[in-house]
Amino acid sequence: MAREAQGSTDHFVASLGQASLSKRQLRKLSEALSLFEHWRLKASMIEQLWDGYLFGSGDVSMEHLLMAEEIRLDTRTAYNMTRKSFSFLRSSLATSVRMTPTSPAEVISRFGENGEHLDELFSLPQTFPAIEVSRRLPVPRGEDYWIRFPSPSQSMNDVVYARVHEPPGAVNPPTLIFGHGMCVEFDHYHNLVDEVAGLVEQGIRVVRPEAPWHGRRVLPGHYGGEQLLSTAPTGMFDYLSAQHKEWAVIIDWCRKTSSGPVAVGGGSLGAQTAKSVAMRANDWPQHLQPDAVFAVIHCSHIAEAVLDGALSDIWNFSGALRDAGWSKELARQWLQRLDPMRTPCVSPERVVSVTGSHDVVTRQAWADKQMDFWQVPQHNRFSYRRGHFSVPLGMIRDTQPLLRLREVLAQC
C-alpha cells in the first residue's frame, strides 16, 4: 500500500477502507510514509547506478564496483526494513495479502474444462533469449556475478536476474540452480542466512534466480511474492510456467559455460519449482534435463502448503477462494495440476531431500509421500528437529545434505 501511495497519506488512508485512524496514528503514518519514500527513491537510484556499473560498457574500477554493490545492499536492506514502521497498523487489515482471485469460470475459460491447455502454457519457447553477463566481484568464496535475460514467459514480460556464486579458479564446475521461497528476496538483504553457501567452497557453482514478482520483478502496489497469492489460482500457473521457461534458459546457459553436471534445487517454493522442473523435463531435450535434484523443506504438491499449511490462514487463502466461488476440493483439484505426481528425469539416487519434523508449512509427511513415490533411498533423506524457517539454520551447522549432494554430482 505504501508503494502504491507514493508518499500520499490520503491515498494510503483511502486504501484502508473502513478503518479509521486517530490523530496519533495519522502522524505516525505520515512519518512512516516519508521514511519509506526516502529509502525507496534512494534504493531505486542506487540500483540504476549499480546496473550501469555492473552491466554497462564504460570503464569502472574494481573499487567502484565493490562500492556500488555494498551501497546497493545497504540501501535496499534499509528500504526493506521500513516495513517495520507500519506495524502499528496491523489490526487495520484483515489479511496480509490483498486477494483478488480468479473465478472457476475464468480459469476454465483460459485453461480448459480439465486443464487441457496447461501443457501449452508450460511448453518451452522455440528459441531462448540472449543472456547478458555482468562484471565479476571478488568475494571470500571466489567470485560473484549476475546474468540477466528477458523472460520467455508472455505472462511476465520483464527481465530475469540470477546471481552466480563461482568457486575460485573454477574450470567446468558442477552447478546447482537454487530457487528461493515465497516472499524471500535473497539478493536484496545484507547477511541473510545462506544454507547452500558451503557448496561454493566445495567447488560447486551456485546460480540463484530471482523468481517472478520478487525483488527487481515486484509489480507496483505489491510486495515481493504477493502477486503469486493474490491472483490465485491463475497467478500460480503463470508463476510456475514462467519458472520452467526461465530455468530451462539457465540450464542451457550452464551447459554452455561448463561441462559439469547441473542440479536443480531450492527451499520451500523453490524446491517445489525444482521438483516440478525435474518431472516436466522428461519431455525436454536431453541437454536441458537436470542431472540431480536438491529439495529443502518441501511437500508433494504446492496445493498442500497453500490449502492445508500453517500459512493458509494468515493469507486468508481458503476464505478468499471460497468468496470467489471455489470449494476447497475444486481448488485442490486445479492446484494439483500445477505439479502432478510424475517420476522425475533423474534416478532416485540423484535426489537429495531435506525436511523438518516440526515443519507445519510444508509437512515432512507430505514430502515423504513424494520421496516414497520417487523411491529415493533413505541415505539421501535428511530430517531436522526444526520448523520450516529454521531448517536452513540447521544446514549451516550440519552440512551432511550438502556433502551428499556433492557426492551425487561427482558421480554424474
Looking at residue 92, its pLDDT comes to 84
Mean pLDDT of 360-383: 97
Question: Using CA atoms, how far apart are residues 250 and 117, in angstroms rounded to an integer?
Answer: 25
Q: Would you identify the CATH topology of the domain 104-410?
A: Rossmann fold (3.40.50)
Helix (H, G, I), strand (E, B) or coil at 40: helix
Looking at residue 7, its pLDDT comes to 94
What's the Cα-to-Cα distance from 406 to each of 174, 196, 312, 351, 401, rounded to whole Å? 9, 11, 35, 12, 9
Looking at residue 40, its pLDDT comes to 96
Looking at residue 16, its pLDDT comes to 85
Looking at residue 126, its pLDDT comes to 94
Mean pLDDT of 357-381: 97
Looking at residue 38, its pLDDT comes to 97
The yes-or-no verdict on residue 315 having pLDDT over 90 is no
CA 110 to chain centre: 25
The yes-or-no verdict on residue 190 having pLDDT over 80 is yes
- Residue that the C-alpha cell 511448453 belongs to: 123
Of 223, 226, 228, 250, the C-alpha closest to 239 is 228
Please tell me which residue, 241 or 314, carries the higher pLDDT value. Answer: 241
Q: Are strands 142-150 and 205-209 parallel, antiparallel or unpaired?
A: unpaired
Query: Which residues are CB-contacts of 177 (< 8 A; sequence separation ≥ 6)?
Result: 207, 208, 209, 247, 250, 251, 254, 262, 263, 264, 265, 274, 290
Q: What is the pLDDT of residues 207-253, one digit of tens each?
A: 999 999 999 999 988 899 999 989 989 999 999 999 999 999 999 99
Q: What is the pTM of this model?
A: 0.96
Contacts 24+ apart (CB under 8 A), 23-28: 25/88, 25/89, 28/85, 28/88
The yes-or-no verdict on residue 291 having pLDDT over 80 is yes
Lowest mean pLDDT, pick from 88-102, 142-156, 165-179, 392-406: 88-102
Looking at residue 221, its pLDDT comes to 84
Proportion of the chain above pLDDT 70, given as a percent: 100
Domain boundaries defined on the chain: 2-92, 104-410
Mean pLDDT of 361-390: 97
Looking at residue 218, its pLDDT comes to 95
Which residue type sits at 374? W
SS3 content of the chain, % helix, strand, coil (to 5): 50, 15, 35
Q: What is the pLDDT of residues 66-116, one digit of tens each?
A: 999 999 999 999 999 999 999 999 888 877 888 889 999 999 999 999 999
Lowest mean pLDDT, pick from 135-139, 215-219, 341-345, 391-395: 391-395
